[in-house]
A and B are shown apart, each in its own frame.
Chain A
Amino acid sequence: MTEAAHARWPIQVEILRYKPDRGRFLQTFQVLMEPESTVLDVLEEIQVHQDPTLAYRHSCHHASCGTCGVKVNGRERLCCLSRMDEVARPTTGGYTLRLEPLDNLEVLSDLVVNPTPLYTTMEKAGAPYHRYEEAAGGPVEAFPDCIECSICLSACPVVATSTRYPGPAPLAGSLAALLQAGDGAAAAEALAFADSEHGVWRCHMAFECTEACPMGVRPAEAIMQLRHTLTLPRLGLARRKIPGAAASPTGGSHAEGGIHRDRS
Chain B
Amino acid sequence: MSTSGEAIIVIGAGSTGAAVAHDLALRGLPVVVLERGEPASGTTGRNHALLHSGGRYVVKDLESALECRVENELLHRLAPEVLERNGGLFVALDEEDMAYRDAFLAGCQEAGIPYRELSREEALRREPGLNPAFKTAIEVPDGVFDPYRLVLAWLATAQANGARVYPYTWVEEVERKNGRVVGVWARHVHTGRRLFWESPMVVNAAGPWAGRIAELAGAHVPIRPSPGVIVAVDARLNHMVVNRLRKPGDGDIIVPQRRTSLIGTTSWIADSPDRLPVPADHIEKMIVEGARLLPAVARVPVKAALSSARPLVAGNLEGEGREISRTFQTFDHEVTDRVANFVTIAGGKTTTSRAMAETLGDLVCRKLGIDAPCRTRETPLHSYRRYRVELPA
Contacts and interface: CB of A to CB of B under 8 A. Distances in A.
A60 B45 contact: yes
Contact of A114 (B230, B386, B389): B389
B146 A65 contact: yes
Contacts of B38: 57-59, 67, 112
Given A57-B38, A132-B258, A62 B232 contact: yes
A81 B147 contact: no
A114 B190 CA distance: 12
Contacts of A123: 383, 385-386
B190 A19 contact: yes
B304 A63 contact: yes
Contact of B190 (A67, A108, A129, A145): A108
A38 B307 CA distance: 13
B366 to A, nearest CB: 33
B259 interface: yes
Contact of A45 (B146, B191, B275): B275
A58 B45 contact: yes
Interface residues of A, number: 45
Interface string A119-145: 110110000011111010000000001
Interface residues of B, number: 49
B258 A130 contact: yes
B300 to A, nearest CB: 14
A61 B304 contact: yes
Nearest to B152: A119
A55 interface: yes
B3 to A, nearest CB: 29
A232 interface: no
A44 B256 CA distance: 27
A65 B260 CA distance: 13
B252 interface: no
B303 interface: yes
A122 B385 contact: yes
B41 A116 contact: no
A55 B262 contact: no
Contact of A64 (B39, B257, B389): B257
Contact of A62 (B170, B260, B384): B260
B377 interface: no
Interface in B208-228: none
Interface of A: 19-21, 36, 38, 44-45, 48-49, 52-53, 55, 57-67, 80-81, 108-109, 112, 114-116, 119-120, 122-123, 129-133, 135, 145, 147, 215-216
Given A61-B308, A132-B256, 5 more contacts: A53-B189, A57-B41, A63-B260, A123-B386, A135-B259
